[in-house]
Structure 1
């Protein structure tokens, strides 16, 4: 029979991080009063998903670790050699997350596949709720993920992900703070540009980069997140990111094209040269000449190296490498 539950509140505390052996083979240093259980960490692969009874759970207020997920609904059923998640949804003010998926097999034969759809009127607030705050303010949009990995649900690792993610967002602001999930998209590369270089339009990033649209597709395979274009359209500049992110080694290999918007350049130049009148003339000139002047100050950057300290080099447009071919999607 199904396990049915209706709960007002579930606050699930995150378990402590598993103890890892030092890379140089040295013994693990433990506090004097520390004790280890017989099994430090059990794997979900020890469970046969086909033996889990149907679950029908409704939670009015769900919090998992620091992630405040709001109202939650879960519906599952066993089938064949696995478990089908027919409905897993989270609802919070201005946020909606819907998940479907399957967990098949045991041990080394276990696999997990999920389809995730996120629809948000405040992506910055959503990332704050998921403990990824500080990289985005505001923004509305959708994120979809169709992907899988070897092992059970608890064996999820970014480096093992196989599939595709699509992002469409509008009317937000990228902040000049250390990102979390933004590293995968390459947004860390963008926020690092003004820190590493003195370039013509660094003032665009002084208090974060406002954007009108952000859109792109990421393919996950063989430990890589690959894109042929993540496009950020802003009132100050248009930015295009292409290349790869090594999720296992946490390394960038990306090319970023930055094209200042002509209207901003002309207005700024006019204001410096002739004050308010010059700014007005510049804005008027932009209406006529915006297209040919749109490339003024455009630059291409090569971003390589580790996430924490990426290396940023200016390259000529003619030297920019071709867009990386999307990695194959394994389903």
Structure 2
């Protein structure tokens, strides 16, 4: 709205000038078929269509956009666009670069790059076919010095605070780019992040980190430090991968290393029915209980107070013991049960002694050089 448009025909291309609060810059549209539409845009603030009163926004967001199935990506001209300020709804993406080229049966995105303070997103991919035979494939690499801020920019605020690291997504789904739905995703996601906090989520709010159910269950999974862990679970390192397919997200191992405990997650999540089926191992780290609680609650100051209090109370964290949990049921009201306690484990039978070696051992136990 309120955009001034100036068109100036030329021998080779149509010159387009745009000036408005949401759209401003310059485009060059070639007269010849197959020419590249190029431009430098000062701002593109894309506005999503408002939902009808009383409409279910979650359902509306999951529906393909009108006409997406009818578009033939092979008929789209190549694009070479540089955007200084890109916003999509509430999502602030910063500087953007787009380079595409046509394929025989679709469109190749050779470069889609977003740059904002402390974050980088690089995407390549292909949009192939049309109608019922359409398919989208992409590889996305994300690097950030503030993952919590990045998630807030992407409209997923309140799930993570701070943290730095990277993630790589290789994904494909049926339909065009606008037909993306988490339940139809095929591919893998690898994560490597450090020094942040997983925040406790409101019931049913786990759109992303809800796949790692520990992020929304700290009061049930941790050691009943209710007032402290309600502020979030601090982590030193998160590393792992997930596989998507047939409406499921599966992981063999996601490791979360924190000052309070090391946590591993394995199992699967039904993305369509929003159901958990995961096993979570919680292994307390060696150290003093109140020092760890202080670190979670108040950073260095809290850690110092915890250490001072520990001198009086002195309860080692390791005495709490490891736990293995089973998490099942819906995302909104999951069922959490202890399926194994470290103190209840039956000792393994002693192994038979190894036969004596035929050659007398050497007097030194130093390894031989290779």
**What is the TM-score when the length of structure 2 is the normalising length?**
0.71
Structure 2: distance between partners of 1:11 and 1:225: 33
What does the per-residue CA deviation read over 1:154-207, in whole Å, with 9 as the maximum and x for residues that have no partner? 111111100100000000011123354334531x4443240x478455565132
Which ranges of structure 2 fall in alignment gaps of 5 or more residues? 1-34, 57-63, 294-304, 346-370
Q: Could you say which structure has the larger radius of gyration?
A: 2
1:183-198 matches, cutoff 5 A: 183-186=209-212, 188-194=213-219, 196=220
Relative distance call for 1:267 and 1:75 in structure 2 (3 A) is: closer
Where does 1:52-67 land on structure 2 (aligned, <5 Å)? 52-67=76-91
C-alpha contact 1:210 1:235 (8 A) present in aligned 2: yes
Alignment partner, residue 9 of structure 1: 43
Query: Which residue of structure 1 lines up, in the alignment, with residue 258 of structure 2?
Result: 234
Indicate yes or no: 2:208 matched with 1:208.
Answer: no
Contact persistence 1:185–1:218 (CA under 8 A):
no
Matched, 1:88 2:112: yes
Deviation, structure 1 residue 296: 3.8
Question: What secondary structure, in the 3-state scheme, does the structure 2 residue paired with 1:235 have?
Answer: coil
DSSP-derived class of the 2:238 partner: strand
Deviations 1:24-81 (A, max 9, x none): xxxxxxxxxxxxxxxx952322111111000011110000011000001000000111
Give the direction of change, closer, same or farther, for the CA distance of 1:97–1:295 in structure 2 (3 Å limit): farther
- Structure 2 CA distance for aligned equivalents of residues 302 and 49 of structure 1: 46
1:88-109: CA deviations, max 9, x gaps?
0100000000000000001111
Residue 172 in structure 1 maps to residue 217 in structure 2? no
Q: 1:203 to 1:3 in 2, by over 3 A?
A: same
Task: Look up the match of 2:178.
Answer: 154
Whether the 8 Å contact between 1:43 and 1:154 is mirrored in structure 2 is: no
Contact 2:46 2:88 in 1 (8 A): yes
The Cα shift of 1:133 comes to 0.4
CA distance in structure 1 between the partners assigned to 2:116 and 2:292 by the alignment: 42
Residue segments in structure 1 that go unaligned for 5+ positions in a row: 23-39, 287-292, 321-331
State how 1:291-302 maps to structure 2 within 5 Å.
294=318, 296-302=320-326
Distance 1:276 1:220, change over 3 A: closer
Distance 1:310 1:191, change over 3 A: same
Contact 1:183 1:307 in 2 (8 A): no
Question: Structure with the greater relative contact order (CA < 8 A, sep ≥ 6): 1 or 2?
Answer: 1
Task: Determine if contact 1:49/1:104 at 8 Å carries over to the other structure.
Answer: yes
The offset of 1:16, in angstroms, is: 3.4
Match of 2:332 in 1: 308
Alpha-carbon distance in structure 1 between the residues aligned to 2:99 and 2:111: 5
8 Å CA contact 2:199, 2:215 repeated in 1? no
Task: Determine if the alignment matches structure 1 residue 117 to structure 2 residue 156.
Answer: no
CA distance in 2, matches of 1:198, 1:130: 29
Corresponding position: 1:102 with 2:136: no
CA RMSD of superposed structures (Å) = 3.0
Instruction: Provide the secondary structure at the position in 2 that maps to 1:15.
Output: coil
1:254 is matched with: 278
